[in-house]
Amino acid sequence: MSSSNSLRLELRTSRWLQCALCCLAVTAALGVWRASVPTWVFGLVPVLLALSLLALHRQPRGLLVLQADGRALWTAHTSAEVRIQQSVEAVLVEMEALQLRGPLTVLAFRVSDRRRDWCAAPDTLSNVERRRLRLWMQTHHANPGFSSTR
């Protein structure tokens, strides 16, 4: 099969989402500071920011190849620093859902009976890739949980 018939998606953590979480944390800190609430509430903001960033960094990283015949293959990256070409075998995955939420795209798939969710911003998924992903899901996905709302 030629590579032009498949869609290769490099799943990585979005820096835009990291910046958005930090901006929300600063806004929350300012809101807590201006509100008449106990000062110990101010300490929750960094804790919640750390938990949010941890959840963002726990997203799957790797290569997802969506082929024209409807198969989806996943190759996980064990570390962001290790990009050495090794003979790692791709695993067949089950695509579950795609949600388009404005500029954000949320893709859910199942690898070895474990659900993985990947949230992409425009810095990690271009408009062309997003459109091709939406069309691939519409063509090859018959699950009623599929949602491509704009």
What secondary structure, in 3-state letters, does the chain show?
CCHHHCEEEEECCCHHHHHHHHHHHHHHHHHHHHCCCCHHHHHHHHHHHHHHHHHHHCCCCEEEEECCCCCEEEEECCCCCCCCCCCCCCEEEEEEEEEEECCEEEEEEEECCEEEEEEECCCCCCHHHHHHHHHHHHHHCCCCCCCCCC
Q: What's the rounded Cα separation, in Å, for the pair 64 and 130?
A: 13
Q: What's the rounded Cα separation, in Å, for the pair 138 and 146?
A: 8
**Which structure tokens are listed for 101?**
């939420």
**Residue-level pLDDT at 4:** 59
Can you give the residue ranges of every domain in the chain? 8-144
pLDDT per position as a tens digit, 39-83: 888 899 999 999 999 999 988 888 999 988 888 888 887 554 445
pLDDT per position as a tens digit, 77-133: 755 444 555 556 778 888 889 999 899 999 999 988 889 889 999 999 999 999 999
